[in-house]
Amino acid sequence: MAKEYQYHSNIWLEEPEPSNPFAAKACFCSGYDVHSDVIPNAGWFEYLLLLFKGERPKKQDTALLEKLAMVLANPGPREASVRAAMNAGVAQTNHSSALMAALAVGAGQYGGAQELSICITLWQECQFDITRWQERLLNPSNDERADIWLPMEHAPGFDPNGDATPTPILQSLELLAGLAPANGALAWLKASRQALELHVGYPLAMSGLAAAALVDLGMGEDQGSMLYLMLRLPGAAVHALEQKQVGWKNFPFYGPAIELEEDAFPGSKDRKGEHK
Amino acid sequence: MSHKHLLETEKHWLTRKGKAFLSDRVILHRKDLHQDLGDYEWMRVFLYSILERDVEENVAKLLNTFWVCTGYPDASIWPNHVTALAATVRSTPSLSLMAGMSVSEASIYGRRPEVRALDFFYRAGQHCDAGGDLIEFVENEKAAGRTLYGYGRPLANSDERVPFMLAKAKEFGLDGGRHLQIALDVYAYLNETYGFSMNVAAIHAGLAADVGLNCQEYQLFMTPCFISGMIPCYQDARDRPEGSFFPVRCTNIVYNGPAKRKWGN
């Protein structure tokens, strides 16, 4: 336990203004002067990769991350994390609430960051061994203990509610694999997709595609999870704002769709069917 | 698998849990919220909501003390610190408390140790039921490299909540359960063999097992348990000047990364 009130960082250095120890005169990110050098000369995705990796990225990695960010930017209003943000937006709550809702819901194991994290962990273990992948996709956890996360209910990176692979997934896989190393995860996924889908019985999902892209960018499961959470927020933000304008009278209210089973009423034996 | 089953719930959600019949009444687990549960203490409604059943008075009182004894009004404790940071920058009460609550689902304190400790005692009990030895079970877990949640404490070498909880369990007549005894037996062994201390997560989990909570129920029950300690931390930072909660000077970021270098064009 640290006794001094100091934070340790390999990422960030600050030099104070002479007049105020709590104001930075210069900030350095992995050795680069942020305001004098990085911001004027680098792009947003170069800077993002510098933050996550600590090194100036190759052009190929920057291009891959930028396109991945565009692929993930808006999961669309049907997706659970965006719907959560829209619920916040239509209620005119704080903007932070909308994004917190999107983060919490987008953290999950069905299409969310925890699923992506498991995928990246499996990449580290299975690499390009399709037999190992086939085995582990159907048994993604070998820990019998209970945890704060529930056990996975489907093959991570694939959509159990899917039929054929959705066109945007195929388009994105094609595009991203073209920007990634020829011997990398995306290239292998592109070549192995059909065999894996046949094995698990349902199609590749965006989480599985994103995990392969993040593996090609050298991200571990923690880094990948953070990026996945962040990169999906633009859609949550704009749809929350949009629903604030649209208003609650034009927003679905599911009350009539929720039906309480007959025997779930107080004294249901005597009052059977009264809700109808 | 396919999308076909989604069609069933696209416009219809059949449930046994409850429903709000607006302008009329509200049903929660077969009881009318206002008519049947209206005189309950809030904690009893919370437990009823989780468990779908009423618990005995002494069980509710015991579980109530789980919350009472873990709400520490000290802004050095990580969830409280987050709440205080939110207050010093003048965020809202809900955002501040939810941020604190969400970081309570941590690995070095809070929800993961609690869930893992409860699971550990249930598995230990099953191991013994199958004719195994408790110490053998503990050693197997250790040998597998697994943290023995509930034993040791990150910031201190004893836990003031342990004697408090043991006294409360006795007061409510719930100190004779099997899993609490397992927790104490494991402590006796680990302390004797490795010098480990015991923290309240072990006692709470042992008691939670003895009153029959499963891991999910326990996780839900414990989720808000730090919140009474967060509130004074929020208020304290809120009432002081903006940004004044433990400000960090530039030089207190201790940098160990690459040396200065040029990015260039």
The structural domains of chain B, ordered by start, are 14-54 (no CATH), 111-222 (1.10.230.10)
Residue contact A33–B256, C-beta within 8 A: no
Q: What is the mean pLDDT of residues B100-115?
A: 94
Q: Does A202 touch chain B (CB under 8 A)?
A: yes
Name which of A253, A254, A207, A251 is nearest A231 in CA terms. A207
Distance in Å, alpha carbon of B254 to nearest chain A alpha carbon: 5
pLDDT (0 to 100) of residue A276: 37
Q: Which residues contact B50 (CB under 8 A, 6 or more apart)?
A: B217, B220, B221
* ipTM of the prediction: 0.94
How many residue contacts between A and B have a Cβ separation below 8 Å? 161
User: With contact defined as beta carbons under 8 Å apart, do A16 and A25 qualify?
Assistant: yes
Q: What is the rounded average pLDDT for all residues in chain B?
A: 96
Strand partners, A28: A13, A33
Residue type, A37: D
Q: Does A59 touch chain B (CB under 8 A)?
A: no
Distance in Å, alpha carbon of B188 to nearest chain A alpha carbon: 23
Residue contact B98–A100, C-beta within 8 A: yes
Strand partners, B93: none
Q: For chain A, how are helix, strand and coil distributed in percent, rounded to 5?
A: 55, 10, 35
Largest CA distance in chain A: 80
Q: What is the mean pLDDT of residues A116-143?
A: 96
Nearest CA in chain A to B8: A257
**Surface-to-core class of residue A212, CB atoms within 10 Å of its CB (0-12 exposed, 13-18 middle, 19+ buried):** buried
pLDDT digits (tens, 9 = 90+) for A74-112: 999 999 999 999 999 999 999 999 999 999 999 999 999
Residue type, A100: M
Among partner residues B29, B246, B263, which is closest to A38 by beta-carbon distance? Answer: B263
- pLDDT of residue A129 exceeding 90: yes
Q: Does A153 touch chain B (CB under 8 A)?
A: no
Q: What is the mean pLDDT of residues B22-37?
A: 96
| Chain A environment of B22 (Cβ under 8 Å) | 255
**Helix (H) / strand (E) containing A212:** helix A206-216
Query: Comparing B1 with B147, which gets the higher pLDDT?
Result: B147
Name which of B34, B55, B80 is nearest B231 in CA terms. B80
Q: What is the mean pLDDT of residues B76-105?
A: 97
Interface test with A, best of B1, B17, B219 (most A CBs within 10 A): B1
Residue contact B15–A261, C-beta within 8 A: yes
